[in-house]
Amino acid sequence: MQAVVIAVVTSLASLVRSRLALQIEILALRHQLAVYHRAERRPQLQPADRLLWAWLSRRWSAWREALVIVQPRTVISWQRKRFREHWARLSQPGKRGRPPVAKEIRALIRQLSAANPTWGSPRIMGELGKLGIQVAKSTVEKYRVRHCKPPSPSWRTFLATHAKDLVSIDFFTAATVRFEILFVLLIFAHRWRRVLHFNVTAHPSAAWTAQQVVQAFPWETAPRYLLRDRDGVYGADFRQRVASMGIEEVLTAPRHPWQSPYVERVIGSIRRECLDHVVVLHARHLRRLLGAYFDHYHRWRCHQGLALDCPQPRPIQSPEQGAVIEVTEGGGLYRHYERWAA
């Protein structure tokens, strides 16, 4: 009885449907029957079968009711696979992707961006174009070095650029035979590696330090920049006096003495070559020791930063000027050598 009811309902529904929908349903059923006849056990589907059902799923809304050989989600997966293969063929006509960027060009992009942190991608691209290297902006964006902080020159670049107008100021200590701590002030010129001024005190203050700066730079000889640390001795009196002289202060970072390398290096030389070998009696004795050392330092000590010349340029003596003689200074603490005629 149930079968009869189903047959009657199906017949009535077929009268309502359009002739085109009926023909499509007949096509789908006959196709599935042909697939079943093709194999005895499990139906073997071919690419044409998948293509037909992918087309039916897009053109016929009732395709799920007529589908028996596979699940509807299988047909949907066929369609997605065809979509991927279609666009893969379009995007890969011959070679895959863009042409590779040469290793030398990638290295050059990184070199330009690292050495010039203020350059943007268009400027790097333009610079490469002037060198005969044509690259896209996206290529530069991909291989350039990304800076974590805002672009800023390094301390080494700053010191090299402003060496002519840069002077450092710093203190170091020395102990006397009576365990008194003396403070030595150094004002050091970077350009010629010269100690412009020094003095010794047991009680440094901002006013005393400011007066030393005035004595070091009389009249119109003040430098443009003064590099110093953040010691409390550089107080309000010091800052006001320096500003009135037209000197701009450059401060190092807290606990970063390496940012003032020149004066730190000369302090190390003073300790190794002079103070480590003597016992300081008092402030006057220390001034005399340092005066003798700086005289030797300026006239005879060679520096790599000055192309192995001295702060006070020293002429080259030819062999015709005589034999080499050793001359001791500072009671034998240091020596220099020069030619003397017999």
Q: Is the pLDDT reported for residue 201 higher than 70?
A: yes
What is the distance between the alpha carbons of residues 308 and 262, in angstroms, rounded to a whole number?
Answer: 16
Give pLDDT, residue 5: 44
Task: Give the pLDDT score at 8.
Answer: 45
Lowest-pLDDT range of 10-19, 38-47, 112-121, 152-161? 10-19
- The more confident residue out of 65 and 146 is 146
Say which amino acid occupies 98: R
Pairing assessment for the beta strands 181-189 and 194-201 based on DSSP bridges: antiparallel
Q: In the numeric block, which tokens belong to residue 186?
A: 């150094």
Residues 6+ apart with CB under 8 A from 170: 185, 186, 188, 228, 229, 260, 263, 264, 267
Which helix (DSSP H) or strand (DSSP E) does residue 201 occupy?
strand 194-201
Report percent pLDDT > 70 for the chain: 75
pLDDT confidence of 307, banded at 50, 70, 90? confident
- State residue 199's pLDDT score: 97
Give the separation between CA 162 and CA 165, rounded to whole angstroms. Answer: 5
pTM of the model: 0.55
Q: Is 331 left (phi over 0), alpha (psi -120 to 50) or beta?
A: left
Backbone angles phi, psi at 253, to 5 degrees: -70, 155
Q: Which residues pair with 323 in a beta bridge?
A: 340
